[in-house]
Amino acid sequence: MGKRKKIFPSVLITDIADKGLALGRADSGEVVLVQGAVPGDRVKVLSKRKKKSVAFGFVTELLEPSPDRVEPVCEHFFDCGGCKWQNLVYEKQLFLKNKTVINAIERIAKCRPETIGEPIPAPATTFFRNKLEFSFSNKRWLNLEEVKEDRKIERGNALGFHRPGSFDKIVDVEKCHLQPAPSNQVRNFVRDFAIKNNLEFFDIREKTGLLRTLVVRTGPAGQLMVIVAFAERNEEQIELVLDAIVGEFSDITSLYYVINEKANDSLLDLPMQLYHGSEFLEEQLLDVKFRLGPKSFFQTNPAQAEKLFEIALEYAEIDGDSLVYDLYCGIGSISLPAARRTKKVVGIESVPEAIEDARINAELNGIENVSFFTGEVEKLLDTYFFEKEGHPDVIIVDPPRAGLHPAVVDAILQTSVEKMVYVSCNPATQARDIGLLKKNYELVNLRTVDMFPHTSHIETVALLKKRSTQS
């Protein structure tokens, strides 16, 4: 990979690429992947590296703006990198996401569905998330204007998001447009209080300092859960921070803290300590209540998740006598609403904590016709399991980004299941798996649901039905 700088005086942006980059072609004919551009722009680009025949760069001058370009609403847009499509009109975002899904199916699966529904837009394109994690750092990211200033600027402390490509520096966020109030108020209060009281922000390189990460989770009717991760045990300073949060946000639902002395920021394998309030928040999807603790996985855009799962259940066409398998079931987000509509549901998930939550949520809702199993789907789903739990009428899958394990594909092909609903967060792996399944199954319906506006992230739901004659 080359690292020589090169100026492209004129690049016409024609399409999108992975990770929010834009695809363009220079007047010289070279292909360039560009940060900060949108389809239809003509831009001047500075490239700092090249991989094979593709140059990577960023916009230094907007020569001709695209008719689809809009002004970003966030003041941190050019530094943060979280909402990379905020400068692209929303209708175009939906079009490009749907195009990506269709292209993946046609190119990888080499088939086309009977019906492609219109993409489901998000009812809100800002303030839609119910959870965010912020990082503390004693090395604040300096923006381009600050770097250009002819004076020394102290980096200082920051509480916000990692700058893409710079693991040890944090963009100090004043207002994030992803999560509703009081998310911004909580983050800014904790940051300002810590600075005022000379509390040490984490040094990401040296692994020193007190304050490491801050998680804010919001719920219906003003529910608020805050989790503060400290990098060292200093009881006096920890209590100082936690008491200040309770004092400022007296109606806080839950306040947890955790000591994280590990090399990474993951908190799932660490004990959480409840400092104030209730152990849980409550959310509702469709007609089911979910109890959420500090480690619970839950869809971060519940309004769109409800639409996603409604489509999945509509495609499943379950009735009161159906046996439904929900593979990669998580905390039961699909299993439990499905159980309200049918005879029996079987859920499989590899994360023990998720299965524990699923069982608790089933009990909370008085749902008794669902069985949850902990284990890798590819290891549990065998002939013995089908004989013991029954042969399903419908299989619903919602795998991680890697898609279905080959053994799961084989198991599905060997069943007599008539319908399969495939929920996916990765069009490429979904298309790969559909290409393998089309031996016995026909792709009937495909729908894109926009869970994360202003990003390239895509969620889809596909319906596959068993062929009358296998190919």
β-strand partners of 170: 140, 162
Alpha helices (runs of H) in 317-426, residue ranges in sequence order: 335-339, 352-364, 377-380, 383-389, 406-414
| Dihedral angle over CA of 124, 130, 133, 139, nearest 10 | 40
**145: which residues sit within 8 A by CB, 6+ positions away?**
none
Q: Is 264 left (phi over 0), alpha (psi -120 to 50) or beta?
A: beta
Distances (CA, A) of 276 to 131, 270, 310: 19, 18, 36
| Domain 93-124+296-466 in CATH 3.40.50.150 | yes
Which amino acid is residue 15, in one-letter code?
A: D
β-strand partners of 344: 323
Q: What angle do CA 91, 93, 95 make, to 5 degrees?
A: 70
Tens place of pLDDT per residue across the chain (471 aa)? 445 789 999 999 999 988 889 999 999 899 999 999 999 999 999 998 888 889 999 999 999 999 999 999 999 998 998 999 999 999 999 999 999 999 999 999 999 999 999 999 999 999 999 999 999 999 998 876 665 565 666 679 999 999 887 888 899 999 999 999 999 999 999 999 999 999 999 999 999 999 999 999 999 989 999 999 999 999 999 999 999 999 999 999 999 999 999 999 999 999 999 999 999 999 999 999 999 999 999 999 999 999 999 999 999 999 999 999 999 999 999 999 999 999 999 999 999 999 999 999 999 999 999 999 999 999 999 999 999 999 999 999 999 999 999 999 999 999 889 999 999 999 999 999 999 999 999 999 999 999 999 999 999 999 999 998 765
Q: How many CA atoms lie within 13 A of 251 on its CB side?
A: 5
Respond yes or no: is residue 425 known to be catalytic. yes
Among candidates 340, 309, 315, 338, which has minimal Cα distance to 325? 338
Domain residue limits, the chain: 6-69, 93-124+296-466, 131-284
> Which CATH number is 131-284 given?
2.40.50.1070
Q: Which residue out of 74, 83, 111, 425 is catalytically annotated? A: 425
- Rounded to 5 degrees, φ, ψ at 376 are -70, 130
| Domain 6-69 in CATH 2.40.50.140 | yes
Among candidates 74, 49, 66, 51, which has minimal Cα distance to 15? 66
Rounded distance between C-alpha atoms, residue 154 and residue 162, angstroms: 18
